[in-house]
Amino acid sequence: MAERMGFFTDTSVCIGCKACEVACKEWNQLPDDGFVFEATSYDNTGMLGASTWRHVAFIEQSRPVQVPSDPEAEDSVDRWLMSSDVCKHCTHAACLDVCPTGALFRTEFGTVVVQSDICNGCGYCVPACPYGVIDRREGDGRAWKCTMCYDRQLGGLEPACAKACPTDSIQFGPLDELRERAEERVARLRADGHEEARLYGESPSDGVGGAGAFFLLLDEPEVYGLPPDPVATTRDLPAMWRWAGAAALSVAGAVALAFLNGGPGLKSGTSLNGGTFLTGGAGPKGRAFLKSRAFLKGRALLKGRALLKGGTR
Amino acid sequence: MRTEGAVVPEAGFRSYYGRPVIKPPVWHEPHMPTYLYLGGMSGVSSSMAVMARLTGNPRLARSARLAAAVGASAGAALLAAELGRPERFLNMLRVFKPTSPMSVGSWILAAQSGLSAAAASADLAELLPAAKDMALLATAGDAALLATGLTGPLTATYTAVLIADTAVPAWHEAYRELPFLFAGSAMAAAGAVAMLATPRAQAGPARAVAALGAALETAAGTVMERRLGMVGRPYREGRAGRLMGTARLLTAGGGLLAAVAGRSRVLTALSGLALTAGSLCTRFGVLEAGRASAADPAYTIVPQRERLDAAP
C-alpha cells in the first residue's frame, strides 16, 4: 500500500470562493444540486451530498471587540467563518463497515471509495456516516461521495479541489506530513492571539480513529455543521450482536414455553402432560416424534445456538 | 450554555443554521417497516412451526409454516424493491461481511426464506394424492423446518442491529432494548397470524406466544423510552409518537385479549387484528422516530457535546 494520503483544510485562510466546489463538480462530472438560495448566508449547497462532494460553509458572527486605539469604545464586529467541508475518509469508516456488497472499499492511498458498478443502492451507508457525508442520488439510485480524486491520484495528480484552491486552504499530501504542518500552523495562530484555533479530526484516538481529511477550525465544530465528537457506529457492534443474540434466545425460549404450557384460553388442559389438548391432538405419532432422533437433534441444535452466537461477534 | 437534564436542552446548543448533522435514513415507507414486520412475523412463525411439529400439533404447524414462508419471501421482495438499483439485489450475496448487519442479515434472510419455503412446500405436498408415500419429502421438509428453528429467531431480531448500527441517535442509543422490542413485536405478530389462521382448539400456543410477545414489546418499549431520556424524545413526539402510542395501545389490548381469545371467534379476530396492527405501527413508528432523530441536530450535537465536556 502506498502512503496514506489526506486533506488538511485550513479554514483560517479560506476566502469562500467555492473554487473547490466548482473544480470538484467539473472533474467528477457531478450533476447540479439545484441553484438554491438558502437566504441564511452565501451558502447555496447547504451540506455535503450525493452530488456535492465539497461544501463551503459560511458563518457570519457578531462579537464585542475592543478597539486598541480607543479603549472606551466597544464595537460589534462581524466575523466571517468559511470552511470547505469534505468526506473525512475515516480510519474506522462506518460507511465502509456497513456496506453489504463490498462496493465501498479502502484504496491503496488509505481513502474510502464507492465502486459505482457494484453499489446496489441499499442506502445503509447513508445513516451510518456520523458526519452525514454520503448520500443516495435521486434518479440514479446509487450512493456517491468524495473519492479524494482516486483517478487523479492514480495518475500522480493532486485532487481537483486542492489544485483549484487559490489560498492553499485545502492542502493535499501524505497524512503524517499534513498532521505535522497542521500542528505548526495551529501553534502559530495561537501565538498570534487566535486562542480559538483548534484542529478537528487529526487525532488517531478519536471516535473514528482519526480522519484522513482533517481541519483547522476557528470555533466549535458544530458551528460549522460538524459533529463535535463523532463515533463510528460499528464500535458498538459486538455489544449490539450480544443483545440481539439474547433477544433471539428469548424468542426461542418464550415460544417453547408457550407450547409446553399449552397456552391460555385452552378449553381443556393447560399443560403438556396433563391436558387432553396435546395428547389428543398429537396422538401416538406426535409422542413418538418427541422421543425420535430428529427431535433430540433439534434440541441439541437449540442448545448449540448459544455457541454459534459467540461466533458471530 | 447547557442546562443539566432539562426537558428542552436545545436552548444552549450551537449548530450550522439548525441544519441536521447526519443524513436521515433513505429507506421508504411502506417497504422498510413492512419488511421489519414481515421478517419478524416469519421468524417467530418458524419457531412456532418447529415447536408445533415437536409437540404434535400439525394444524398449527401448517399455519405457522405457511406464514413463515410467505413472510420471508414477501419481505425479501420488499427489500429488493427498496434498493436504489433493484436489479442488483444479488450483489447482497456477493460477500459475507460480519461488520455489516445488512450483509449478515441478507444471508440470514436468504437461509430463512429458502428453508421456510422448503418446509412449507413439503407440508403442502402432503395434500397431493400422489404424495401419500413420499416419506423422504416429509423428512426433508422436517429437516428444513428444524433448521428454521435457528434462522427464525435470528431473522426476527437481527433487524434491530441493522438499524441500531447507524449514526441515528434514537436508534443507536437504543441498541440494548431494540432487539427485545422487535422480538416482542415479532412474537405478537406471529402469534396473531397463527391464531387467525388456525382453528381455536389448536391455536392455544399461538395465543400464548402472542400474549408473551405483547408483554415483552410493552416492557422493552417502556424501558427504552425511559432509559434514552432526551435522545428518546422522537419516540414520544410528532408522527412517530402517535404511531408508537397507537402501537402501545393496540399491542397491550391485543395481548390482553389473546389471553381470553380462545373463547370465541370474535375475540380471536379482535385480538389477532389488534396485534397485527400494533406490530405494524411499532415498525412504522421506529422508522419515523429515526428520521425525526436524524433531522434535528440537537439529538446529534447535545449528547456529543456533553460527552466532550464531561471528558477530562
Report yes or no on B3 lying in a domain. Answer: no
Beta-strand ranges (E) seen in chain B are none
Is B262–A249 a contact, with Cβ atoms under 8 angstroms apart? no
The pLDDT mean for chain B works out to 94
Q: CATH number of the domain that B128 lies in?
A: 1.20.1630.10
Question: Which three cell numbers, joined as nine digits, stand for A161?
Answer: 479541489
Candidates B125, B162, B133, B136; CA nearest to B40 is: B162
Contact list in A for residue B204 (CB cut-off 8 A) is 262-266, 277
Contact list in A for residue B21 (CB cut-off 8 A) is 131-132, 222, 225-227
Among A124, A133, A262, the residue with its CB nearest the CB of B102 is: A124
Instruction: Calculate mean pLDDT across residues B109-133.
Output: 89
Report yes or no on B14 lying in a domain. Answer: no
Range of the domain at B235: 23-303
Is A250–B183 a contact, with Cβ atoms under 8 angstroms apart? yes
Give kind and range of the element (H or E) at residue A6: strand A5-10
pLDDT over 80 at B210, yes or no = yes
pTM for the structure as a whole:
0.88
Residue extents of the structural domains in chain A:
5-231, 236-312
Among A100, A142, A227, the residue with its CB nearest the CB of B97 is: A100
A128 vs A197: CA distance, rounded Å: 29
B41 vs B210: CA distance, rounded Å: 11
Report yes or no on B7 lying in a domain. Answer: no
ipTM summary value: 0.95
Cis peptide before B30 (omega within 30 of 0): yes
CB of B246 less than 8 A from some CB of A: no
Q: Are B194 and B188 in contact (CB under 8 A)?
A: no
Instruction: Calculate mean pLDDT across residues B208-219.
Output: 98
Label residue B9 by pLDDT band (50, 70, 90): very low
pLDDT at B213: 98
Instruction: Calculate mean pLDDT across residues A288-313.
Output: 46
- What is the CATH number assigned to the segment(s) A5-231? 3.30.70.20
Q: How many angstroms from the chain centroid is the CA of residue B131?
A: 36
Is B259–A265 a contact, with Cβ atoms under 8 angstroms apart? yes
pLDDT at A78: 72
Q: What are the tens digits of pLDDT across the range A188-246?
A: 999 999 999 999 999 999 999 999 999 999 999 999 999 999 999 999 999 999 999 99
B87 vs A117: CA distance, rounded Å: 12
Is A281–B209 a contact, with Cβ atoms under 8 angstroms apart? no
Label residue A101 by pLDDT band (50, 70, 90): very high
Candidates B247, B293, B200; CA nearest to B33 is: B247
Q: What percent of chain B has pLDDT over 70?
A: 96
pLDDT over 60 at A265, yes or no = no
Contact list in B for residue A266 (CB cut-off 8 A) is 204, 262
Among A220, A264, A285, the residue with its CB nearest the CB of B14 is: A220
Q: Are strands A5-10 and A213-217 parallel, antiparallel or unpaired?
A: parallel
Domains in chain B, number:
1
pLDDT over 50 at B3, yes or no = no
CB of B54 less than 8 A from some CB of A: yes
Contact list in A for residue B165 (CB cut-off 8 A) is 98, 128, 233-234, 236-237, 240
B31 vs B36: CA distance, rounded Å: 9
Q: What are the tens digits of pLDDT across the range A38-52?
A: 777 888 899 999 999
For residues B73 and A76, the model is more confident at: B73
Candidates B104, B282, B54; CA nearest to A99 is: B104
* Separation in Å, CA of B170 to nearest CA in chain A: 12
Q: What are the tens digits of pLDDT across the range A118-177?
A: 999 999 999 999 999 999 999 999 999 999 999 999 999 999 999 999 999 999 999 999
End-to-end Cα separation, chain B, in angstroms: 18
Q: How many angstroms from the chain centroid is the CA of residue A115?
A: 17
Instruction: Calculate mean pLDDT across residues B206-218.
Output: 98
Number of cross-chain residue pairs from A and B with Cβ atoms under 8 Å apart: 325
Q: How many angstroms from the chain centroid is the CA of residue A292?
A: 51
End-to-end Cα separation, chain A, in angstroms: 28
Report yes or no on B64 lying in a domain. Answer: yes
The pLDDT mean for chain A works out to 85
Q: How many angstroms from the chain centroid is the CA of residue B117?
A: 20
- Mutation target among A45, A259, A273, A289 for the B interface, most CBs of B within 10 A: A259
pLDDT at B271: 98
CB of A263 less than 8 A from some CB of B: yes
Phi, psi for residue B156 in degrees, rounded to 5:
-75, -20
Label residue A64 by pLDDT band (50, 70, 90): low
Label residue A4 by pLDDT band (50, 70, 90): very high
- Nearest chain B residue to A50 by CA: give it: B23
Report yes or no on B99 lying in a domain. Answer: yes
